[in-house]
Every structure is written in structure tokens, then in C-alpha cells.
Structure 1
Amino acid sequence: MATCRIAVVTVSYGSEDVLGPFLNSLGLASLHPLFVVVADNKQSKGTSKVRELTEESGALYLPLDVNRGYGHAINQAVRHLPSNIEFIVISNPDVVAEPGSIDILVQTLSADSTIAAAGPRILSSDGQVYPSARMIPTLTGGVGHALFSSIWPGNPWTRSYRRDAVAVPARRDAGWLSGAFLVARRSTIEDLHGFDENYFMYFEDVDLGYRIGKSGLRNVYEPSAIVTHTGAHSTATDSLNMLTAHHRSARRFLSKQYPGPSRWPIRAILSVGLSARSWLLERKNRRT
């Protein structure tokens, strides 16, 4: 068997319904052998369907004793990779990779040593392009987005934050790439110590992209590589919990990016804005 240079790491949390199609899609996503690791953040007693699917596909099943979040699970999976791995595909399990998509992204990285991470065009299940390559959110932009996105969706801060390559799909640099699917150099991931595990869920990919940029390297959007993100399955309660986690992570990232007492008033406004947005969305969900 040829030596693996490319690994795929993903995290399952009750993902047995989507994991099979994801694993099946990897065979055509690259012409090269892939070392695949599935970290399981939600073990159950007895036989695990996730374990069965993983081992049937020839991948490594990695059960985790405690769910410490997406970033922690990805970091643990990376630590279990063989030493010869050079490129790491980081993906959600509810993704189907198009033929050749991984090879296109690896080629993008291989062609330019200044590129640390490359991300594909991500489609939703209905074929819409997801804005997966965005600018780093600023503190003032974050405040505007938090305060007005629910009541004024077309506000300039939200439009700026969600700027992407939907209109004219073309390769370009980005501030950060969606952690739903990206390929990164292993050396970069290890130099940066992987994802910041203080983010339980959300913004760990924003934080990683920000640190890649701060290190002098690049995040590149490569729309000729395509994957489909089928989407997570959650209840209304889960959605509210996820919204709370998202706002908590947003608050953490912007506070980390803009520390110091002089910026405390703006951080306080951001916190109020996020809390107000949560309240408005919670009321909306209760009415539907």
C-alpha cells in the first residue's frame, strides 16, 4: 500500500445517520490513500453504530471519554496520526466530498508554501453556496452584526462579515475558512497547537484562521473543489443551546482579539447586543 500523506479527521456526536455517506465519499475525493480518524464525542453503551461504520470503512475509531467540544476532539484525532502525514483534512461528518475535491485542495497547498489552509466551495443540500470563506470579524463589525442582524438582515456590518465568492467564484485569500471542511498543513496545525480548546463549539475555526494570518501565512478559498454540507439534525431546544454557545464563543473571540481596559465599553456593548439577539431569537422560536 502506498504511503499516506493525507489524513482526514472528523468528529461524531450521534452522527450515525450522516457518517456513512461522508466516509463513502472520501474514496473518490482523492486518488491517494487516506488515513481517516473518527473521534466519537458521544459514546453509548453496547455496540456503537458509529464504531461499526468507522471500522467497516477501514478508518480508525477514536472514542473519547468526555465531550470537551469539537476543537478538543479534532486535536485528539490529530495526535493519533502517523508521523508521515503532511496534510490534514478537517471535516464535519455531515459532509459529502465531491470527486477530486481533496486532491484539488492539497494541490493548492503544495503549489505555494505561504498557504497554510485551503477551503472548498461548500454547498448546502439545496445547492446554495455557503459563505465559507470570510473576513476576520472586527469588534465594531461584531457589535453591528450582533445588534442588527435579526431586525435588519441587510445591515452593512452583516453584509461585510458574510462577504464571500458566491457572485464570482474565484480563488482568493480569506481571513478564515469554515471548519466544516478544510485542508491544512500538519506543520501549521502543530505549530499553532491546533484548535483553541476553550471554544466548546463555534469560532474555533475563526480563531484558527486568525492565528494563521497572524503567523504570516494564508488561508485560501479554492472554489474549484466542492463539497456538500447536508446540515446538522437538531431539535428546537438544541438550536437554542447552539445559539447560546455561538454567542458565548463570539464574545470570547472578540474579547481575546481586542483585550484591555480601554476597549471594555465596546466589549460591554457587544455582550448586550448578543444577549438581545439571543432573547429576540428565543422569542421567535417560541412563537413558531
Structure 2
Amino acid sequence: MQLSVIILNYNVRYFLEACIRSVQAAITTLDAEIIVVDNNSPDDSCDMMRNTFPEIQLIANTENVGFAKANNQAVKVAKGQYVCILNPDTIVTEDTFIQLLKFAEKTENLGSIGCKLIDGSGAFLPESKRNIPTPMVSVKKILGNKNSGYYSELKENEIGKVAILVGAFMLMKKTVYDAVGGFDEDYFMYGEDIDLSYKIKKAGFQNYYYGKTSVIHYKGESTLKDKTYAKRFYGAMQLFYKKHFKRNFVYDVAVTLGARLIPLVSPSNKTTKKEIHSCFIVTNSSERFQQIQAVYHPKKCEQFETVDELLLQANHKNQTEIIFDTHFIDLKSSIQIFEKQLGYYKILPKNSTFILGSDSSKNRGEVLMLTKN
């Protein structure tokens, strides 16, 4: 088997379904499998998996064992030559895996590959490609220095060598994953991807960033930017520092203080309510148009059957929501429009009864249920 796509889920049932449907569309021409691990979600994620995707292997944990351990569980049973660690709040394009596997096959000494991640508004996520968070870099970042060197200088649409990738999307040979011992289970949540990337690099492999394919990472679904997040993130960075760098009193004190003080001053999330005056629905189905229109009633809705017409009308109307019916327009084309940042966006996944999207990488997204006509 060529590829195993591993999705770790916790309590994001609708985003998980949308993610799986995008992955299914992306592996139609590949010898591939999907493995979903659920970390004891309190929602109906497992019931949805059993009822909607009975053919997909589900590992249903009876407790939340954390990011590292759960992914390690799945890799142990994966049959693919390559494994892709994928967040449930992501949407891949139809050719994402095809492009990356083609690149992997011709690249020597390959470690892990990451790709261009954008949030639900189409904005590039700079953590897609990072440098090693040395003590000096960590201290600068903790102090809020924008020129800390935390992010790679590689341009977002380029392909090149990088040190650190993000755990929302990491593709590598299973032999590489096994050679470095997989994710370190000392980490519960956050920091595991930095640690794994660094272990791969220290083992003599080279990590790459591939900026020619874009993947949506809604991010707010799995990474709410609140004080709990800050505490866990800086705690993970403290663990990474202690494991991989020689002890230095000054840096040790600075990182320790940062890990303890930053959570105390981190602002809590406050969602700003957006104003939607109209919606543009990209579909060729009058039935699906009416279903979506009912959600937005009494706001004005317009139907578009060509991308050119949509782009002409949208043109940075920030109070417009654009909904992509993926029965009609493919995900790759939809994501290309996302990146133009013309307004707010939602997606209707194939064979689903809801639309979803997110307007910020810092807050939870929105799921709107469709009513039957």
C-alpha cells in the first residue's frame, strides 16, 4: 500500500466528516487507506464514523490519551509505505497527496514533507514552515519579537528545505517515523510536531516545505487561543528545550518564566460578530441553492455557475459569504478562491447535510445544518 492517512479526532464531528470526504476525493487514484483515532470525544464522532464511514478503520479510545500516543497507535497498524499525520479540521485538495508523493519519490534522504496551510479566511499560516526554536529564538518569541527567527524565510509558494513542520499535516515514509521513534509521548498536546521534526533532522534526514499545494487548516477547532492553550504551548516548549539543548542558566530561567508568565497575560478569545449582508452560492443545483438560501433567509442570496462571474461580483465584498458546493466546484478551485480573501467562506462537502467554515484561526468555526426541501 502506498499511503496511510491518519486523522486524530477530538470532538469535531462535522469538521472530521468534511476532512474525510476531502481525503477520499484525494486518494481515488492511489492505493491508500484512512485510519481515524478518536480520543474519547463527548460528541457523536464515533457514531458518525460507524454509520457514515463503516469501511474506514476507527480506533475508539476510551480516554483522551493525547496527540502523540494516539497517532503512534495508528501508525503501528498503518499499512502504507508513507504515512500522513492529518488534523481533522483540515481540507485537502484532490491532488494534494499525488503532488507530495511524486515529490517524495524523487527526493533523496527525505524526512517529512509539509505543505502550504491557510486558515478559513484564506490567510497563510506561517507555522507551516519554521526554524529550530533554539533557546535564543524561544526567548525572542516569548518576548514578542517579530524578528525572532521562529519562522522560515522560505516564501510561502516555494519548495525548499526547512527544519520544523506543523503536526496538522506531516507526510513521511513509515520507516522514517519508526526510525526516530514516532511522536514523543512525554508531550500530551502541542510541541510534538516540533520534537518529531527535530528528531528527524538530527537523525540525518531532511524535512521539506512544499508550497505548491494548499490545505485549509481551520485551526480554531483544535487550537483555541486562550490561556489554557498558552500554558500548554509554552510548557511544551519548555520540555523541548530541556530535552534537546544544553542547560544554560540564563536561557533556562527565561524559558521557564515565559512558560509560567505568558499564560497569565494572554488575552482570552473574544469572537467579534461578523455582519453578513448577502451570500454568493457557487452551485449548478437549484435544489442545493434553495437549501443553502433557506439558512441565510432573509439575507439576499445569489447563485453563480461560473468562477469568472463569481470573481467579478465578489471583489473584496467583506460582508459577503461565499459558499462552495463541492458537488459542483472542486476543492482545489475553491481553495484557490479562498486565497484571494474576497470575503467569508463556507464549504458544502459532498453528500453532507451541512455547510461549515471559519473566519479566524483563533476562534471556533461555524457549522450550519441544511434543511430538506
Query: TM class by shorter-chain length?
Result: 0.7 to 0.9
Aligned to 2:141: 145
- Choose the corresponding residue for 2:92, options 97, 105, 110: 97
TM-score normalised to the size of structure 1? 0.86
Report the alpha carbon displacement of residue 66 of structure 1 after superposing the two structures with TM: 2.6
Please tell me whether the aligned partners of residues 201 and 245 of structure 1 are also in contact (alpha carbons under 8 angstroms): yes
Bigger Rg, structure 1 or 2? 2
Unaligned runs of 5+ residues in structure 2 are 272-373
Q: Provide the C-alpha distance between the structure 2 equivalents of 1:86 and 1:233, rounded to a whole number of angstroms.
A: 30
Identity rate, percent: 22
Amino acid paired to 1:20:
E
Cα RMSD between the aligned structures? 2.2
- Choose the corresponding residue for 2:257, options 245, 264, 272: 272
Please list, as runs of the form range in 1=range in 2, the aligned pairs for 1:4-23 lying within 5 A after superposition.
4-23=1-20
Please tell me whether the aligned partners of residues 231 and 262 of structure 2 are also in contact (alpha carbons under 8 angstroms): no
Q: Provide the C-alpha distance between the structure 2 equivalents of 1:90 and 1:235, rounded to a whole number of angstroms.
A: 16
The answer to whether 1:115 aligns with 2:110 is yes
The answer to whether 1:226 aligns with 2:214 is yes
Aligned residue pairs, count:
268
1:129-176 CA distance string (max 9 Å, x none)? 111111111101111211x21xxx53x21xx1123544x521011111
1:199-240 CA distance string (max 9 Å, x none)? 11111001111011111111000111221112233797x832
- Choose the corresponding residue for 2:101, options 98, 103, 106: 106
Amino acid paired to 2:57:
L
Amino acid paired to 2:77:
H
Please list, as runs of the form range in 1=range in 2, the aligned pairs for 1:1-288 lying within 5 A after superposition.
4-30=1-27, 31-44=29-42, 48-53=44-49, 56-57=52-53, 58-82=55-79, 85-131=80-126, 132-146=128-142, 148-149=143-144, 154=146, 156-157=147-148, 160-166=149-155, 169-233=157-221, 239-260=226-247, 263-281=248-266, 284-285=267-268
> In 2 relative to 1, CA 125–42 (structure 1 residues): closer, same or farther, beyond 3 Å?
same
> In 2 relative to 1, CA 286–17 (structure 1 residues): closer, same or farther, beyond 3 Å?
closer
Amino acid paired to 2:268:
N
Please tell me whether the aligned partners of residues 172 and 222 of structure 1 are also in contact (alpha carbons under 8 angstroms): yes
Q: Which has the higher contact order (CA 8 A, sep 6+)?
A: 1
More helix by share: 1
Unaligned runs of 5+ residues in structure 1 are none
Q: Secondary structure at the match of 2:226?
A: helix
Amino acid paired to 1:145:
K
Amino acid paired to 1:21:
A
> In 2 relative to 1, CA 43–273 (structure 1 residues): closer, same or farther, beyond 3 Å?
closer
> In 2 relative to 1, CA 81–246 (structure 1 residues): closer, same or farther, beyond 3 Å?
same
Report the alpha carbon displacement of residue 271 of structure 1 after superposing the two structures with TM: 1.0
Task: Compare 266-275 and 87-96 and name the one that shifted more.
Answer: 266-275
Q: Secondary structure at the match of 2:208?
A: strand
Divergent runs of 4+, >4 A: none
Please tell me whether the aligned partners of residues 5 and 86 of structure 1 are also in contact (alpha carbons under 8 angstroms): yes
1:98-132 CA distance string (max 9 Å, x none)? 11001111112111231121111111111111111
Please tell me whether the aligned partners of residues 134 and 175 of structure 1 are also in contact (alpha carbons under 8 angstroms): yes
Q: Provide the C-alpha distance between the structure 1 equivalents of 2:66 and 2:47, rounded to a whole number of angstroms.
A: 19
> In 2 relative to 1, CA 254–273 (structure 1 residues): closer, same or farther, beyond 3 Å?
same
Amino acid paired to 2:237:
A
> In 2 relative to 1, CA 224–276 (structure 1 residues): closer, same or farther, beyond 3 Å?
same
